[in-house]
Chain A
C-alpha cells in the first residue's frame, strides 16, 4: 500500500509540473494585463517601472521559472487587482464554494442512489418510471435555466427562500460558514439544489443500471437461496457492488463542481471561487488565474488519489499482498 501511495505521489508531482506549465502558457496567451494594471494616462517612466516590478518585461520561460520557484516556497504571488496574496484570496472564497459543493454532491448521492436502486429493483413500477423521468429532466434541462426558475418560484413568487447571497455566517477556523445557521441554510437551499439536480440524475442512472444487472446475477440468486431478505440483499450485497462506480463519479463530480460551480454561483450571487475566477478572467488578473488553475489541478489529483484508496478498501481484489 505504501509503495502504491509513493508511486502515485510521484505521478502527481509530474502531472502538477506539466499542468503548471500549460496553465502558465495558456494564461499568458489570453492577453496582456499591462493595460488593465496601468492607467492610460500614466507616464512612460511609471509604465516601465510597473512592468519591471511585475516582471512582465522578462521572457516567458524566465517568468515561469520565477513563478515555479516561488510556488515551491508556497508563494503563489499577489493579485494585480486586489493587491493581496493570491493564496489567501482564494482561501477566503473557498469555504463558500466548499459548503455549496459538498452539500450538493452529498445530497445528490444520498437521494440519487436509493432512488436509482429502487428504479433498478422494480424497473416496471410507475414510481420507477417517475424516477427515471426526473433523471431525464435533470440531465437535459440547463442548470442556469433551472436556477432562474428556482429563484422565480421560491424567491419571487412564494417568497419563502432568499434569491442570493450567503446569509448569516458563523466564523470557524477564521472563515465564515453558512451551513451553521438557519438563515445560512436557507440561503444554501436553492443553489445547492440547483447544483445537485444534474448529479442526482447521474447517480440515479448509475445505481439503476448497476442494480438491474446485479439483481439478475447468480450472486443475488444464491443470496436468495440462502434465505436473505430483499432488504439485506439490496443493502449489503447490491450496495457494496455498485459502490465502486458511485465513488468514482462522486469524486469526479466533487472535483469538477468545486472547480467550476461558476454558473450557479453567478446566478445566486454566491461569493465562491467560481465567481472569483470569472472576475479575474475579465480583469486579466493573471496570478489569480494561474494559482486557481494550479490549485484545481492539485485538487483533482488529491481527489483521484482518495478515490483510488477508497477503491482498494471497497474491492478486495485490488489490494496487494493477497493471502
Chain B
C-alpha cells in the first residue's frame, strides 16, 4: 500500500465557550489515498464540519486544535504558520461547502472570484488566470463557460452554482478535496448528478475526496470507505460494502436500521432511541452508551480501537452477527 496523501492522527478540536469546553472533535484518526473517496457520516452536530475545517486549519476562536496531527503528503499542517497554511489551502487541499448561495460572493462576478483564487497561488497574467478559470468551468460542465464566466452567482441555478464552487476547488488540482454536504441544499435530481460528477472528477484528477454527509444513503452510493462519526469521534470505519453489510458499532447499526431502503413496508422506521448528547456534558467512556442497547458497566470506560483487516471500530460490545 502506498503512503496516504492525507493522514489524520488523534485530531482534537475543542471550542472554549462560556458554557464550557465543547469537544467537537476528540481523537479522530483516518487516512486516505489518492483517488479514494471517504464518506464521513454522522448526525448533525457530530463534528463533521469541524473536522473538515480543522483539516484546512480554518478553526477560528473560541475553537482550537488541541491535539493530534494532519499530515498532508507527510507535512504536518497543525502548528504551521498562517502564511504556510494559506499557501496550502486551495492549492493542495480544497474545500466546498453546503450552500453555494452563501459561499460565493453575490457582488463579484464568477470571473473576479475565480481569478482571485488563481492569483492566490500563482503569479500569472489576468488573461491567463481567466483562461484557467474558463477551463475549470468547462471541466465541471458549465455550458458556454467563456460567456457565463462574467455572470454573477444569482444568474446561475443552484446546481450550476455548486458546479462553479467545485470548479474553484479544482483550479489548482488539489491532492485532497473536502466536500461538506455539497448537495444538501440542492434538488434531489441534481444531487445525484453532482455526486456522480464529483466522483468522476476526483478519479480523473487523482484527488482524494472526503465527502461529508448526514445521509448514509448518499454516502454509501459514492464512497469507497465510510467513517461514522458520533459526538466528535469516529466510532466505526471501513470499506463501504462491508460496513453496510456487517456493521460492528451499535450506532452504525442503528443508522442502517433507520434507512428508508431497509424499511419493512407498513412499519414505522426504527429510530435510535434517545437524543444526541450535548458535547458539553458527555458521559464518561463511550458517548453512545446512554442510547445503546448493548451498554453495560464496561461502557463507562473509553472503548479501545479494535481493528480487523481494513476496518476499525471503537466499542466494548461490537455487533458480531452476520446480517447477510
Contacts and interface: CB of A to CB of B under 8 A. Distances in A.
Interface of A: 217-219, 221-229, 232, 236-237, 240-241, 244, 314-317, 322-323
B121 to A, nearest CB: 6
B58 A221 contact: yes
B201 interface: no
Contact of B99 (A218, A232, A236, A314): A218
A241 B103 contact: no
A217 B106 CA distance: 12
B91 A227 contact: yes
B117 interface: yes
A229 B109 CA distance: 19
A220 to B, nearest CB: 9
Given A222-B103, A222-B165, A227 B87 contact: yes
Interface of B: 53, 56, 58, 86-91, 94-97, 99, 102-109, 112, 116-117, 120-121, 151-152, 154-155, 165, 168-169, 171
Given A227-B91, A315-B107, A232 B102 contact: no
B89 A232 contact: no
Given A229-B120, A232-B116, A224 B97 contact: no
Contacts of A229: 86, 120
A218 B102 contact: yes
Q: Which of A217, A224, A315 has the most CB of B within 10 A?
A: A224
Contact of B88 (A227, A232, A316, A317): A227
A218 B94 CA distance: 15
Contacts of B102: 217-219
Given A218-B102, A226-B168, A314 B120 contact: no
A228 B97 CA distance: 16
A135 B225 CA distance: 55
Contacts of A219: 102-105
Contacts of B151: 323
Contact of A322 (B89, B121, B155, B165): B155
Contacts of B94: 225-226
B220 to A, nearest CB: 26
B173 to A, nearest CB: 13
Nearest to A218: B102
Contacts of A221: 53, 58, 97, 103
Nearest to A225: B95
Nearest to A236: B116
A222 B89 CA distance: 10
* Top 7 closest pairs, chain A to chain B, by CB: A227-B90, A222-B103, A226-B90, A316-B152, A218-B102, A225-B95, A227-B89
Q: Which of B90, B103, B105 has the most CB of A within 10 A?
A: B105
A228 B117 contact: yes
A223 B58 CA distance: 11
A241 B107 contact: yes
Contact of B120 (A222, A228, A241, A322): A228
Nearest to B98: A218
10 contacts: A218-B99, A222-B97, A225-B94, A226-B169, A227-B87, A227-B90, A227-B120, A236-B108, A237-B105, A317-B154
A224 B103 CA distance: 11
Contacts of B169: 225-226
Contacts of B107: 240-241, 244, 314-317
B116 A225 contact: no
Given A227-B88, A241-B106, 5 more contacts: A225-B89, A225-B90, A226-B168, A228-B86, A315-B107
Nearest to A241: B107
A221 B107 CA distance: 16
A316 to B, nearest CB: 4
B135 to A, nearest CB: 17
A227 B165 CA distance: 14
Contact of B109 (A218, A224, A316): A316
Contacts of B116: 223, 226, 228, 232, 236
A240 B112 CA distance: 12
Contacts of B86: 224, 227-229
Contacts of A218: 97, 99, 102-103
B245 to A, nearest CB: 35
B152 A317 contact: yes
Contacts of A314: 107
Nearest to A317: B154
A219 B105 CA distance: 6
Contacts of A315: 106-107
Nearest to B121: A227
A229 B94 CA distance: 15
Contacts of B112: 236
A224 B97 CA distance: 12
Contacts of B117: 226-228
Contacts of A322: 154-155
Contact of B108 (A217, A226, A240, A244): A240
A226 B104 contact: no
A224 B154 CA distance: 21
A232 B117 CA distance: 10
Contacts of B105: 219, 223, 237, 240-241
A237 B91 CA distance: 20
A72 B15 CA distance: 68
Given A221-B58, A224-B58, A227-B88, A323 B155 contact: yes
